Amino acid sequence: MLVDRATGHAFARVGERSLLLPAESVGESYQMAQIAQLAGSGQSRAETESIVVTTTEHHHVIRPVPVPGTDGPLLSVVFDRARTNLALARRELDQRAEVLLA
């Protein structure tokens, strides 16, 4: 699912919709993670790269899609936990996100 960070609008969805997080909460979750990261890093300018929520059945991964100079949308993906190596999945997701809007 591709979500507008600021407004929480879902630009596009594919796959099993019932498993996806609500689009509005994807944007809010990402921004809460940014605030938490800021609080924990002091004066560091490190930016939040992604957030992962793991349930007993799924991994929910949210990460921004790089767009030249603009407020890029967020990519929210759900993985089946039983069949997924999270490290490999995230690596592949990063590669796809880099070229999604390029």
Partner 1 sequence: MSPTGTGPAPYGGLAADMRSLHHESFTGALLVFGPPDTTLHFRQGLLVAARTPAAPAPDTLLLRSGAVPEQDWAAARAHALTTGDLGAELLARRHVSAALLELTLERSLLDGVFAMGLTPSNRGGEVRPGALPPLLRLDEGVEPGPALREAARRHDAVGRRWGPPADLARLRPVASGAPEAVPSTVHRDLLARADGRRTPRDLAFALGRDVSGVMADLVRLAERGLVETAPRPPGGPLSRRLPERGQDGPGPRPLTQRRPGADGTHLAPGTDTGLPPEVAARLNAAHHVPGDLLGDEE
Binding site for partner 1 (CB under 8 A): 2, 4-9, 11, 24, 31, 34-35, 37-38, 43, 47-48, 67-71, 73, 100-102
Q: Find the length of the chain.
A: 102
Question: Quick check: 97 and 61 in contact, CB under 8 A?
Answer: no
CA distance 15 to 78: 9
Kindly state the smallest distance separating residue 21's Cβ from partner 1, in Å: 16
In the bound complex, what is the minimum distance in angstroms from residue 8's beta carbon to partner 1? 7
Round to whole Å and give the CA distance between 32 and 79. Answer: 22
CB of 73 to partner 1, least distance (A): 7
